[in-house]
Amino acid sequence: MGKQVIETTTGPRADLARAIEAARDAEAHCAALRASVTRIEDERFEARQKLDAETARETDGSNGNDEVIRRLLAGETSIALLERAADHKAQAEAERAIEACNRALALLRTELADAERALELRTRRVRDAAGAVIAAEALDAMLAESERLRGELAAREAVLSFIHPYLPRDQAAKVEKALVSSDVRGEHSSIDPWRAALEALSRDASAALPR
């Protein structure tokens, strides 16, 4: 994803854009450190393989030397020239490489732990900045809509509670189920049209119901 483009340099969205960029930089830094750790772990593995190979070769050579000594004691001399000395230089180089990798990994892992903590902090800042955008641009409208819907629900429940005693038993049971978790208390202005309708129906079977 490309760089955040925000028209203004101030305000919640500009703050969010900066927070996102900072988090991306932190994530890229962590990724680079992880890649370096993996690369050096591979280098150390290769060095260990080389050291193991040289150690095995030296062991094989030592076993072979027993035969050389036996033959020398038997009076042979030229066979000693055919026996290759162990490559101590290659062993030393492999050991130095392993030690260097261990030192590098210790440094990188410490840096990576710090970088991951920084990434976590910047990720939280992105979340907080996103919340600030919502608060600035949508919260008032959502609160107003919630209040409106809550008022509509209260009005509907007040009407249901009012008409409940007038309903047939099977229909009244539906109302009871709908109101079981509601908090209907006292009078509500929404009841007035229904009270008038009931009075009208008691006088005229063709009276209209409220809409």
Residue 30: give the domain boundaries: 12-137
In a domain, 85, yes or no: yes
Assess whether 121 and 161 both reside in one domain.
no
In a domain, 94, yes or no: yes
In a domain, 55, yes or no: yes
Picking from 107, 137, 167, the residue at the C-terminal end of a domain is 137
In a domain, 209, yes or no: no
Assess whether 45 and 18 both reside in one domain.
yes
Picking from 137, 167, 189, the residue at the C-terminal end of a domain is 137
Picking from 137, 164, 186, the residue at the C-terminal end of a domain is 137
Confidence of residue 182 (pLDDT cuts 50, 70, 90): low
Assess whether 128 and 152 both reside in one domain.
no
Assess whether 114 and 183 both reside in one domain.
no
- Which of 13 and 6 is assigned the larger pLDDT? 13
Residue 145 in tokens: 């809509």
Gap between the terminal Cα atoms of the chain = 52
d(CA 98, CA 102): 6
In a domain, 208, yes or no: no
Assess whether 133 and 45 both reside in one domain.
yes
Percent of the chain past pLDDT 70, that is, above it, reads 79
In a domain, 160, yes or no: yes
Query: Residue 43 in contact with residue 97, Cβ under 8 Å?
Result: yes
Residue 79, pLDDT > 60, answer no
Assess whether 52 and 151 both reside in one domain.
no
Assess whether 76 and 42 both reside in one domain.
yes
Instruction: Count the domains in the chain.
Output: 2
The least confident of 113-117, 180-184, 194-198 is 180-184
Query: Residue 23 in contact with residue 125, Cβ under 8 Å?
Result: yes
In a domain, 152, yes or no: yes
Assess whether 43 and 19 both reside in one domain.
yes
Residue 184, pLDDT > 70, answer no
In a domain, 70, yes or no: yes
d(CA 46, CA 127): 43
Assess whether 23 and 116 both reside in one domain.
yes
Residue 42 one-letter amino acid: D
Q: Is the pTM of this model over 0.75?
A: no
Residue 77, pLDDT > 70, answer no
- Which of 205 and 137 is assigned the larger pLDDT? 137
Q: Residues 33-74: pLDDT tens digits?
A: 999 999 999 999 999 998 888 777 766 555 556 666 666 666
Confidence of residue 187 (pLDDT cuts 50, 70, 90): confident
Assess whether 49 and 117 both reside in one domain.
yes
